[in-house]
Amino acid sequence: MTATDFDAVREYDDDQFSAVEVFRSDRMKVVCGYFEPGQFIPVHAPASDVAIHVQSGSGIVRDGDTERAVEPGDVVVVEADTDRGVKADEDGRLEALLVTAPPPTDAEHEPVRKGLKQNEFDP
């Protein structure tokens, strides 16, 4: 069994969001995401579903052309092959659990790397 809590693995990065991996298999990846105000996971569309549970803070989740405001307790699911991204509000930190199935490939995360490098939510 893998077990942890947000306090035990909390890790913030001043430059970009921090994703602390707590579990990975061929079928699923689980990370605790930590976002400073305004930080984001750039919009990308991997061939995997993602479930996002907001632990604390607030922000938005992009699902295709829709942006949904999220706050503690919200659960949002975005289907595979759909543009998606996560962004913390400008006035506070955001912490969220992200469960992705199956785990995205390295190639599918190229838009994430590009967006982070260019500091663009929607590269």
CATH H-level, domain 11-118: superfamily: Jelly Rolls (2.60.120.10)
Q: Give the pLDDT confidence of 7-16 residue by residue, as tens digits.
A: 999 999 999 9
Can you give the pTM of this predicted structure? 0.94
Q: Are 61 and 77 in contact (CB under 8 A)?
A: no
Q: Are 97 and 32 in contact (CB under 8 A)?
A: yes
Helix, strand, or coil here: 14? Answer: coil
Predicted confidence at residue 123, as pLDDT, reads: 81
Q: Are 52 and 82 in contact (CB under 8 A)?
A: no
State what percent of residues in the chain have pLDDT above 90. Answer: 95
Domain locations in the chain as residue ranges: 11-118
Q: What does the block give as tokens for 113?
A: 């790397």
Q: Give the pLDDT confidence of 45-83 residue by residue, as tens digits.
A: 999 999 999 999 999 999 999 999 999 999 999 999 999
pLDDT band at 93 (very low <50, low <70, confident <90, very high): very high
Which residues, including other chains, have CB under 8 Å from residue 11's CB and lie 6 or more apart? 18, 20, 34
Nearest Cα residue to 104 out of 38, 30, 21, 48 = 48
Residues across the chain: 123
